[in-house]
Amino acid sequence: MELASVNVGRLLAPLDSPQIAEFVAQLEPINRLADASPGFIWRLMTDEGDATALRPFDDDLILVNLAVWDSLESLRAFVYSSNHLNVLRQRRDWFERMATAHMALWWVASGHIPTVLEAVDRLERLRRDGPTPAAFTFRTPFEPDASGPGPALVDAEFCWPTSRQVSLRT
C-alpha cells in the first residue's frame, strides 16, 4: 500500500498577483525538494512542473496538491521536518484560513495514481465523517489494515484550520 495525500487552499489573491509572488517563487524549490525526498512516489503536475494551472473547483482561487508517498512517516518528514515547514508556517500570507478540513490522507494500492475526483471525494468524506480508514489526518492516522487510529504523528494540526465549501467543476 502507498499513501495518497490531497490538500487544497484558497489564495488571498490571484496567482499572478504581487501578494502571492513569494509563494510562487517557492513552488519550484519545494517541488524539487519533494521529488527528491525519501519515500516520494508521484505528484499531480502539468508540463510546467506544478499543479497551479489546474482549476478543478468552481472557485479559480483554489489550488490543489495531490501526491503519493510510500508511508505516513516519509510524508510527515517532508511536511514537518524539511524546508517545506517554513512555507507551511507562512501560509496565512497567501491563503485563507479554512474552517473545514483541507488535507486528507488515504491508502491506495501500490502503483495506483489517484485522480482529482478521487481526492475530492476523500476530502469530502473526511469533512463529513471525520477521520476514518477511508480518509484521515496526521493527528488521527490509520495504518492500511487498521480498524482504529494510531497515535498522533504531529502536535499541531494543519488539517482542520475557517472558509467556504466549494464544488468540483464537472
Residues above pLDDT 70, as percent of the chain? 90
In the chain, where are the structural domains located?
A: 2-129
Segment 121-128 long-range contacts (CB within 8 Å, at least 24 positions apart): 122/4, 122/6, 123/6, 123/8, 126/101, 127/100, 127/101, 127/165
Q: Answer yes or no: is pLDDT of 21 > 70.
A: yes
Residue where the block lists cell 513552488: 27
Q: Which residues partner with 66 through β-bridges?
A: 6
Q: Which CATH class is domain 2-129?
A: alpha beta
* Per-residue pLDDT band at 150 (split at 50, 70, 90): confident
Q: What is the pLDDT of residues 77-124, one digit of tens each?
A: 999 888 888 888 899 999 999 888 999 999 999 999 999 999 999 999
pLDDT value, residue 145: 87
pTM: 0.86
Q: Where are the beta strands (DSSP E) in the chain?
A: 2-10, 40-43, 62-69, 103-108
